Structure 1
Amino acid sequence: MSFPSASDLNATWSYIQPGLEFILGAQGDQGVTSKMYMNCYTAVYNYCVNKSRHGATATSIAASSENNSYALAGAEIYNKLDEYLIQFIRGLSKEANESFLEFYVRKWTRFTIGAGYMNNVFDYMNRYWVQKERSDGRRDVYDVNTLSLLKWKSEMFNGNADTLVSEVLTLIQKQRDNEIVDTSLVSTAIKSLVFLGIDTQDLKKPNLVVYINYFEHKFLEKTGEYYSRESAQYLQDHNVVDYMKKCESRLAEEISRSNNYLEEHTKKHLLDVLHVVLIEEHAPEMYAQFLTLLEQNETEHIQRMYKLLYRLPRTLDPLADTLEQYIKDQAAKALEKIKAASETAQSDGKPVKRAASGAVDPKTYINTLISVYNQYNDVVVQAFSKDTRFIKALDNACRHFMNKNCIATPTPKSSCKTPELLAKYADAFLRGTSKESDTVDMSPDNLMVVFKFLNDKDAFEEYYRRSLAKRLINGNSKSDEEEESILQRLQEENSIEYTSKMTKMFSDMKASEDLKSSVKEHISESVVKDFNPLTLAQSMWPFNHLADYELKVAPELQDPFDKVVEIYGAKHNGRQLKWLWNHGRAELKANLARKGKPPFLFTVSNVQLMILVAFNKKNTYTFKELHSVVGTAKHIFEAHLLPFTKYKLIDQSPVGAEFAGNDDTTFTLVDEYKSKKLRVNFISAIKTNETKTEEDEASKEIDETRRNYLSACIVRIMKSRKTVKHNELINEVLPQTLSRFQAKIIDIKRVIDQLIEKQYIQRIDNNTYEYLS
């Protein structure tokens, strides 16, 4: 056909309409040829350009005086296209054997392809008339492609939306039921809803209103109903572990489905629905199974449960609370078990190893704490991926059972024994005299784990300092490097102030080496082969000078002691030295063996040393004579003398413990000592109440230190605040003490009363304190 007259609208439309039929697919699968496509484009172009050149009619100008000739030319053919699209879409019909969804997708696919080509046919009109109309504020004029979609929405979608969405949801449910479906139908139909969401005010702005209102709301509702039914039914027929596996599978399926044909907007809402119906609604069943999984050590299944509940963080808190209580219960059972074992004999009749005081063995106790911690720390790391909630639950549980248990606090009001037992545990593996077999499963790492959870760190510091002091003065530390390493770790965990006294103790030991060298140059080795004096700062070391131990030094041993006083006094004028005779030890060579045998080496206390040296003068003394030579209180002298009679080094006459302290009872040194060992330690057999005294001193020291610490905290707060209400003061003091101990409110009140008496602060009414400068 030849081109129609460029000025004739009807002729032009009659010319291009057959081409539009081919472009939109009205002729079946037969598409438009390139020649037909170009002829349609040319005819539209000729018409629009001709109108633009010759101007519009008077009638048209009167109808729209503000529009130019381009607008008037485009409006006529635009209206023709509008009417044509309505009739074309209304004329579409489905085949007898296809569903509405199949018909809709088939026609939509062809129509949108055609709309794209048709938009190019009317390109001139789009670029000039449509653009000018929209810039002038007309929002009812659109480019041809948008116009096509809007006509599809009004003529095809609006009247059939419920049917379309219902059939889409039916196919999705069939897919969930493991039926084979054509997912391309679902994907195309859903995408069409997105394309139909056109914002007529701003064509470039994405708009999901059609997708959300017609599909998303119903999809989420149906999804929730479907999985609510399925999950309830599944749990009736299967256990929780199987259900969790099913949940994982279903969630993976839905995520895959959402990636394939759902909009990004829906994905979050879909997961929210799934998490509620699959996880939150059945969380109680998981909680109930959690304890069983813990008991069976099913880390894999616990991790599966955690990963599911992690999707809804609020559901994890009950799980963490359950874990915390379970750890407390299991620790309590383990500690009850070792307490019972320490109080009774084993099934074979042999007594269980106990500590010297009759309590639970420190190694057994600490290793039990560590084993519980390690067991559930592994669970937290492996099953809960170090989630802070569960780390906190583990920490809370450990802090509880390490400080409050049947061994540490046998009664509610008793002070915690864990710091003392931990110090004894450390002493056992740090002492060089300990057997390697007894310390094989003891380590500084275990020490630091328990230390981290101690409430009363100040109590541990006191007990540890006392055991460290004994190791240092007796020279039986396994390794100075290890001692200093632990000191460094304690300092890092707490503060420099925390270890200040112990650090000074090491300084004193190094300073004593210099004193030893100076003294050695001035003494004769005829009697004393080696002399190791230690000068210890009284405020740093946990030793007290006891009047009961006022010892008389044998004349032949006096010179080294005098030299110490002389040399030290010359270097440090004005300092007072007090001998701690109850500490330290001596090694004595005793020529009491049979001829041809080497001499014995006796390890003795300072009191025992003076007793034996006295026998160099004569072989027999009465109790009164020997006591007057040696000195000390009578009960101390008797306690140190007893090991010699017990182990047959000195003969007592008359024999019997009831005669040992009589003034006229005689003691004679044997001519030949019969012992299979060449080295004999007599110190270990000394029985005094020093152990009990040391425990009392430690407790008093701890209490005194705490009172001073609380006093300093209160004065510091009052000095900065000037006036503070009672409750505010309590609330400020409590957090400041946590690094060292858990202060009791009653103790804080007592310290406040003491500070009032000392006039540091005053009470200005019943509830307020004022600082006195």
Structure 2
Amino acid sequence: MTDLPKSNDLTATWTFVEPGLELIIGGNDENAGVNPKMYMNVYSAIYNFCIKKSSSATSLSSNAANQSSLLVGGEIYKKLSGYLISYVKLLKKRPNETFLEFYVRRWTRFTVGAGYLNHVFDYMNRYWIQKERSDGRREIYDVNTLALLTWRDHLFDKNIDILTKEILEQIKLQRDNQVVDNRTLSVAIRSFVLLGIDTNDLKKPNLNVYIEKFEAPFLESTRQYYTSESAEYLTSHNVIDYMKKAEQRINEEETRETLYLDEHSKKPLTDCLNETLIVNHSEIMYKEFTNLLDQNQIEHIAKMFSLFNRIPSTLDPLAATFSEYIKIQGNKAIENLKNDYSNELNKNGITPTSILITKQIDPKQYIRSLIQVYKTFQDIVATAFQNNPIFVKALDSACRDYINENSIAKPNGSRQNSRTPDLLAKYSDTLLKRSKDADSTTDMSVDDIMIIFKFLTDKDAFEANYRRLLAKRLIHGSSSSEEAEESVVQRLQSENSLEYTSKITRMFQDVRASHDLRNLFKEETSKDLNFSKSIVPDFEPYILTEMMWPFNHTDSKFQLPNVLTPTFTKLQQLYQNKHNGRILKWQWSLCRGDVRANLSRPGKAPFTFSLSLYQMAILLPFNESESYSLGEIVKLTGLELNVISNQIAPLVKHKVLIQSTGSTLDDLYTRIKICTEYKAKRLKINFAGLVKNTEQKQEQEDTEREINDDRKMYIKACIVRIMKTRKQLLHNLLINEVIQQTHQRFSAKISDIKKCVDELVEKEYLSRNEDQTYDYLA
């Protein structure tokens, strides 16, 4: 082992360790290393010097409390500082070597050597340097930090401009598809981070050097590069190619960021790319968006969304364009449907008019057209836009518009309520009604009903129309199944509220109660065998709650046929005994029955006619006489002539009854004769279904009146509820709150709200003040 220098001799100690430091730090021969023996000698020499000097100083001091202040290291620290400065200043680059290559080569060796130096001076670091810094001397650093600061002050800062320039040049070459050394770039850029040392707090991360000296120039050069490239690229390529190019560039920059940029650069680099590659050219892409929708280019739409999704603020204009496009396509689908229907009328020799087409449009075709548009764009939202909430909302808004405001729903811009709820109710009726042609409903489903229902602005109108058609299905027994009916009600209830379906639910309860009454009636009449013979067989009475069912009772002078009177009397008696005080109002126009008609040739089975009660009342008297005048039938039935004419028309048309030659059905003197031998291919014939529904227009008017009355009542209830809570409220605030509370059921008109407010003021629920406020009157 080489003899160590005297431990108290600074000159001898430094002369001994300097050659070793040269090898550790990487002197003229940067590839040369220090062997373990030399390393231990250098370490021991420095250690002995610090220990000996400190011990000597301690023995001279009689005060043990001052021993910590006598730690030695300042002399050798000064020697090391001077050596490092001299070393860094003498570094020179090789011929034909760029500064960047020289910098990375020497920096790599220097940082490795600095780490070893830190270990060599470990004793000084742990005692003397730590003590000096704790005493407030912030200009004293551990050896590794001292080495880095020396490099920064005497090489890095003086050459930073050329270093940054050469790094950016290499990055530009890489962007131009030339091969560069990623490791060289990574090491050089990493040095900006390592040299960002906060001398006041060595443990605190400091990126000031990196941000100011590299990141800022890098971002500026990136902005200039892509601004120029994107503008030039668009002059010779289409938007689709540009989107692919932009996506490629973004991916390249994200890879570059991972390879050699600091995490801090991620957001500013992303913002820079978003601005230069997307925002600056967003208008061009917006214009191309409609073309992509026309061509159903889902893949390219998804790519456009992927780019714009990087900047949330750019999605709103895209969503607005998307929403407007859906509205146009929805209205176009309705116009196509009208044109198809118009062409069909022309083929049948009927002159099509807008009113005729609108009134006679097939609900199934109409609803299917609406749904087809929705499903097309729902697929785009799911596939291309990944169900982004902005585009889901845009789809909902557009569907709500074209479903409620198209040229069939509101012909000629009508201010009347939309017809879509009515047509959806008819679509539901077709689906749920029992049909001979099972294939006619194979492409229909409850899901279709709920899709359109979700977008209805007038959900109360749908409920009223649906309930009107449901009532007929229930009392005529024409529903396909009770389970299907109740499943729709449950879906409507879950989509809206329990209160929304309360009347419909009560209707089902009435039907079940009527079935129980029918069983009781059969049980009671079966007790008297003689009396039971006069009762109509298979009699099915329906006792309905007047306020729940959409039927308007009108007083009638109708005379029930004698054959039905015992059944009628017995039912009334039974019901009054069970429910004392209740009043029964008979809806004769809704009654139906089957009659056996012995009008076939002898030896053949009789016919069975399904008739309305009015038709039964007209036909049954022909058991007594072969012919009657219409005036006599009026007296026998108590019906008005126009009602008889309507009911008798299908019987005359199908030659069950024969009218006198040259007469009309609106003349009281017209004679009607029963045929003696009726000919038909089927034995069971439904004449009730052939009666022209002259009440349809009246039903529609009654439904509209019911809807408007219910809305008026609902608005008043909202106003009173709001004012009861607030006590006093401004006019505009009251209007806004009422609109907000009613929007789930219907779109309340401001004029209707004002009328309701006026009525409540007149009835002294509210009082109006001069300052446009209202007070609630308890």
TM over 0.5: yes
CA distance in 1 between counterparts of 2:167 and 2:682 reads 96
TM-score, scaled to structure 1: 0.96
CA distance in 2 between counterparts of 1:273 and 1:325 reads 31
Per-residue CA distance 1:269-316 (angstroms, 9 max, x = gap): 111111111111111111111101101111111111101110000010
Contact 1:587 1:602 in 2 (8 A): yes
Identity of aligned residues (%): 49
The correspondence of residues 614-763 of structure 1 with structure 2, limited to 5 A, is 614-657=621-664, 660-687=665-692, 689-763=694-768
The alignment status of 1:599 with 2:598, answered yes or no, reads no
CA distance in 2 between counterparts of 1:667 and 1:349 reads 34
SS at match of 1:612: helix
Q: Shift of residue 473 of structure 1? A: 0.5
Residue matched to 1:163: 162
The correspondence of residues 130-141 of structure 1 with structure 2, limited to 5 A, is 130-141=129-140
Residue matched to 1:518: 520
CA distance in 1 between counterparts of 2:357 and 2:104 reads 88
Contact 1:55 1:69 in 2 (8 A): no
SS at match of 1:667: strand
Equivalent residue pairs, number: 764
Superposed CA RMSD in Å reads 2.1
CA distance in 2 between counterparts of 1:464 and 1:165 reads 75
Contact 2:301 2:384 in 1 (8 A): yes
Contact 1:551 1:630 in 2 (8 A): yes
Contact 2:591 2:613 in 1 (8 A): yes
Residue matched to 1:498: 500
SS at match of 2:344: coil
Contact 2:25 2:109 in 1 (8 A): yes
Per-residue CA distance 1:227-276 (angstroms, 9 max, x = gap): 11111111112111111111121111111111111111111211111111
CA distance in 2 between counterparts of 1:317 and 1:575 reads 61
Instruction: Tell me whether 281-290 or 755-764 shows the greater mean CA deviation.
Output: 755-764
CA distance in 1 between counterparts of 2:667 and 2:218 reads 103
The alignment status of 1:575 with 2:575, answered yes or no, reads no
Letter in 1 for 2:248: S
Contact 1:115 1:148 in 2 (8 A): yes
Residue matched to 2:467: 465
The alignment status of 1:367 with 2:368, answered yes or no, reads yes
Residue matched to 1:534: 542
Contact 2:342 2:357 in 1 (8 A): no
Per-residue CA distance 1:489-545 (angstroms, 9 max, x = gap): 111111111111111111111111111122223153467321111111111111122
CA distance in 1 between counterparts of 2:89 and 2:349 reads 100
Residue matched to 2:476: 474
Per-residue CA distance 1:61-118 (angstroms, 9 max, x = gap): 9xxxx98676563111110111111111111111112111111111111111111111
Letter in 2 for 1:374: K
Q: Shift of residue 568 of structure 1? A: 0.6
CA distance in 2 between counterparts of 1:71 and 1:86 reads 27
Residue matched to 2:571: 564
SS at match of 1:765: coil
CA distance in 2 between counterparts of 1:348 and 1:559 reads 54
The correspondence of residues 9-408 of structure 1 with structure 2, limited to 5 A, is 9-28=10-29, 29-55=31-57, 73-345=72-344, 358-408=359-409
Say which of 421, 424, 428 aligns to 2:423: 421
CA distance in 2 between counterparts of 1:444 and 1:349 reads 33
Contact 2:250 2:273 in 1 (8 A): yes
Structure 1 unaligned residues grouped into runs of 5+: none
Q: Shift of residue 665 of structure 1? A: 2.7
Residue matched to 2:615: 608
Contact 2:629 2:672 in 1 (8 A): yes
Contact 1:645 1:651 in 2 (8 A): yes
Instruction: Tell me whether 686-695 or 471-480 shows the greater mean CA deviation.
Output: 686-695
Q: Shift of residue 417 of structure 1? A: 0.5
Contact 1:56 1:73 in 2 (8 A): no
CA distance in 2 between counterparts of 1:220 and 1:357 reads 62
Per-residue CA distance 1:729-759 (angstroms, 9 max, x = gap): 1111111111111100100111111122222
SS at match of 1:345: helix
Q: Shift of residue 344 of structure 1? A: 3.6
Instruction: Tell me whether 349-358 or 112-121 shows the greater mean CA deviation.
Output: 349-358
Residue matched to 1:546: 554
Change (3 A) 1:527 1:123: closer
CA distance in 1 between counterparts of 2:346 and 2:661 reads 44
Residue matched to 2:528: none
Q: Shift of residue 616 of structure 1? A: 1.3
SS at match of 1:741: coil
Q: Shift of residue 663 of structure 1? A: 3.5
CA distance in 1 between counterparts of 2:258 and 2:20 reads 39
SS at match of 2:717: helix
Instruction: Tell me whether 334-343 or 735-744 shows the greater mean CA deviation.
Output: 334-343
CA distance in 2 between counterparts of 1:145 and 1:175 reads 34
Change (3 A) 1:282 1:346: farther
